[in-house]
Amino acid sequence: MKCLVLAAGYATRLYPLTENYPKPLLKVGDKTILNWLLDDITQTRMVDDIILVSNHKFADTFKRWAKRLEYPVTVLDDGTETNETRLGAVKDISFAINTLGIDDDLLVIAGDNLNDFSFKEFICYANEKGTSCIMRYFEPDISKLRKAGVIRIDDDDRILHMVEKPEAPESNWCTPPYYVYRRDDLKLVDVGIRSGCGTDAPGSFIAWLSTVVPVHAYLMPGNRYDVGDLESYKEVQETFKGIQY
C-alpha cells in the first residue's frame, strides 16, 4: 500500500500564518501537523511509499521539509499558484496516480488534520472488507454536517448514499478526509471526473464511487481535529500538549 497526502490547498482562513507557509507544516507541540500524521503511518509498517501533492507556491518548502525526514516522501508539484486556480482534491489524486503510474492500494489523507488515534486499524478494516473504505463518526451538530460529507449506511457498514455538504443531512454520520482506495478502484478516478463528480472536496469521488462499487465506512476510534482557522489552531495546540502515541 502507498499513502497519498493531499497538501495543495492555500488555507486562506489561517492568514496571515499560511499566506507564505503551508498549513500542514505548522507546529503542534514539538511536531508539524504532517509529522504527527506520517510518523504514525510509517510506524504501522503497512505503507511502503508516501507521496505528497503540493501546489507550486509551497512545493519547494515541502521538499526542504522532506529532506529532513527519516523516511522518504515524494513531493509532487501540481503547478497551481493561487487558491482561485487550484485543481481541487480529486484532480490532485488523479494527477498523482497518472504522474507516478500508481498501481497499488492507496491510503489517501488530507495533510491538515490531526488525530488522537492510529491509522493501523483503519487499514486492517479495509483489508478485511476488501473494498475501498472511508471513516465515519457521529456528528450531532447539523451546522457541521452541512459543511462535510454525510453518509447513510446499512448494517454491514456499506455506504448506501453519500452527499458532500448537504443542506438537509440524511444522517449524523460525518466523514473525515481519510480513505483507502483499492487498486482496481484507482482506475475509476478519471472515470468519475468525466462522469461529473465534484473535484474540489476529496469526498466527492468516493461519493460517486459508492454508486458504482461497494464502499464501506469504518467507525473512527477516537477524535480528529480539523485545523481550519486561527481559533481551531489554538485549540489543537492546547489539546495536543503532552500527547504521544
The yes-or-no verdict on residue 242 having pLDDT over 50 is: yes
Nearest Cα residue to 227 out of 25, 19, 3, 5: 25
Cis geometry, peptide bond prior to residue 22 (ω within 30 degrees of 0):
no
The yes-or-no verdict on residue 182 having pLDDT over 70 is: yes
What is the model's pLDDT at position 244? Answer: 53
pLDDT, tens digit, for every residue of 74-98? 999 999 999 898 999 999 999 999 9
pLDDT, average across residues 111-125: 94
Taking the C-alpha atoms of 23, 28, 31 and 36 in order, what is their torsion angle to the nearest 10 degrees? -80
Position 107 confidence tier, pLDDT thresholds 50, 70, 90: very high
pLDDT, average across residues 59-66: 97
Tell me how far the alpha carbon of residue 46 is from its chain's centroid.
Answer: 17
Identify the architecture of domain 2-239 in CATH: Alpha-Beta Complex (3.90)
Which three-class secondary structure string do you get for the chain? Answer: CEEEEEECCCCHHHCCCCCCCCHHHCEECCEEHHHHHHHHHHHCCCCCEEEEEECCCCHHHHHHHHHCCCCCCEEEECCCCCHHHCCCHHHHHHHHHHHHCCCCCEEEEECCEEECCCCHHHHHHHHHHCCEEEEEEECCCHHHHCCCEEEEECCCCEEEEEEECCCCCCCCEEECCEEEECHHHHCCHHHHHHCCCCCCCCHHHHHHHCCCCCEEEEECCCCEEECCCHHHHHHHHHHCCCCCC
What is the model's pLDDT at position 245? Answer: 47
Note whether 149 and 163 are within 8 A (CB).
Answer: yes
What is the model's pLDDT at position 29? Answer: 86
CA angle 5–189–36, rounded 5-degree value: 15
Contacts of 186 (CB under 8 A, 6+ apart): 97, 102, 103, 106
Residue 215 has phi, psi (to 5 degrees) of -135, 130
Position 240 confidence tier, pLDDT thresholds 50, 70, 90: confident
Separation of first and last alpha carbons in the chain: 22
Q: Which residue has the cell 478502484?
A: 185
HSE (CB half, 13 Å, CA atoms) of 161? Answer: 7
Hey, where are the domains in the chain? 2-239
The yes-or-no verdict on residue 237 having pLDDT over 90 is: no
Note whether 111 and 73 are within 8 A (CB).
Answer: no
The yes-or-no verdict on residue 47 having pLDDT over 90 is: yes
More confident residue, 114 or 241: 114
Beta bridge partners, 129, equal none
pLDDT, tens digit, for every residue of 144-157? 999 899 999 999 99
pTM: 0.93
